[in-house]
Amino acid sequence: MKPYFRSAKSATIAALLQHEQLSRSELAEITGASPASITEVSQNLLQQGLLSELPIAQSAKGRGRPSVNLCLQASHSYFVGISISEIATPMVVTDLQGHIMAQQAIPFCKTPGELTAAIRKNYTTLLRDATVPRSRVRGVGITVAGIVDTDLGVCRYSAALNWRDVPVSELIGKALKLPAWVDNDANAVAVGEKFFGRARDYLNFTSIILGRTIGSAHYMHGMLSRGHDGGAGEIGHITIDPKGTLCRCGRRGCLDTIAGGSALRVAAKASGLFVKGMRDLERLAVQGNADAGRLLRNAGTALGAAVAYLVHINNPQCIIFTDMEGFENGVFRTATRQTIENNILPRFLGSTEILFSDAEPSFLSRSAASIAAFEYLTSL
């Protein structure tokens, strides 16, 4: 099934984001638009400076007019990405292809007002470092770990930041004089994977972030699926053990309480293991520490069971795990993968790709920038 696009223009832009460069006839084939419509759309986008033409070398037997491919002009538009967290707030500026032009890190600020002032102050330096003209910055994307009303641009609640009903888009948009959009971490990561990352080729995929808690987001038919009121993807609060540890949501035995980074650190400490992060815990497990091995295996098994349900429900082409905790390739990832593979129907085994990767420090802020890129490009 082809993804739904409002117009031949948005379908053309999406195809070029995915394939980098295409001829007009390839564009017509991929988007399903008529050759005449592609000619018109591409002419229009060339005039706007959003596209450029790349001559392609002709084969030795080539005759007639030299062939030309179209590609997006990366320097046409730039986007700011800000990832607000309780530790620090990284801020990046990316081009249209998601390349990071410059980055800054804002130390933790106690209030939204202080944070906004710090963002405004750092923005000028960020643009200077990136050598990006202010007039080409089309918007700012923001991620917050918490519940976000994306339509209103408000963070309804963030336990990590102790925020309630903060109008994030309005505050930061006004400070930077840019259109602003805010979303939660998990959705932003999925959009980032679709636009700039490993999911360009997938119409149906699941993205899972392994952090202090666990988040997920789903693309279906090329569109982010938010559910009825934005709550889709709350995988961290799936009940794994009804008699388990109390979760911050008030119930017991949620996935977060077994496989979230915060819970694992608490459990490690309770077992007398003093670890800074998951890298240390994995190292202890490899050295034969039974408690470390048990905690990681239980965590991976719980996560794998939850993900196996998702595979049956959504039938994704790919599951992309983004590891922000530093598990690396060890007991946890092995247990997760094995549990998924043992708990899905054989028909899904060969058709569901499972990818793990380590998140780079700028990963979330770059994902935040992708929200602005998506909103800007789909509004053209």
d(CA 71, CA 96): 11
Q: Least distance (Å) from Zn ion to the CB of residue 247?
A: 3
Q: What are phi and psi of 192, to 5 degrees?
A: -60, -40
Q: By rule CB under 5 A, what count of residues binds Zn ion?
A: 4
Dihedral over Cα of 226, 171, 84, 112: its sign: negative
Tell me which DSSP letter residue 58 carries: P
- Please report whether residue 237 would count as binding Zn ion according to CB under 5 A: yes
HSE-CB of 227 using CA atoms within 13 angstroms:
12
For Zn ion, which residue of 56, 87, 159, 249 counts as binding (CB under 5 A)? 249
Q: Least distance (Å) from Zn ion to the CB of residue 116?
A: 31
Span from 161-169, 218-226, 229-237, 299-307 in contact with Zn ion (CB under 5 A): 229-237
Span from 6-14, 248-256, 294-302, 347-355 in contact with Zn ion (CB under 5 A): 248-256
Of 141 and 215, the one with the shorter C-beta distance to Zn ion is 215
The answer to whether residues 33 and 12 touch, using CB atoms and an 8 Å cutoff, is yes
Of 305 and 344, the one with the shorter C-beta distance to Zn ion is 305
- Please report whether residue 258 would count as binding Zn ion according to CB under 5 A: no
Q: Least distance (Å) from Zn ion to the CB of residue 256?
A: 6
Span from 53-61, 152-160, 235-243, 335-343 in contact with Zn ion (CB under 5 A): 235-243
Tokens 């309780």 -> residue: 86
d(CA 235, CA 210): 11
Each residue 38-67 as x (binds Zn ion by CB under 5 A) or -, in order, gives ------------------------------
The answer to whether residues 41 and 26 touch, using CB atoms and an 8 Å cutoff, is no
Q: Least distance (Å) from Zn ion to the CB of residue 78?
A: 38
For Zn ion, which residue of 51, 247, 302, 369 counts as binding (CB under 5 A)? 247
The tokens describing 234, both together, are 């709350």
For Zn ion, which residue of 80, 84, 238, 254 counts as binding (CB under 5 A)? 254
d(CA 39, CA 227): 36
DSSP secondary structure, 115-148, as one string:
HHHHHHHHHHHHHHHHT--GGGEEEEEEEESSEE
Q: Which residues in this chain contact Zn ion in the complex, by CB under 5 A? A: 237, 247, 249, 254
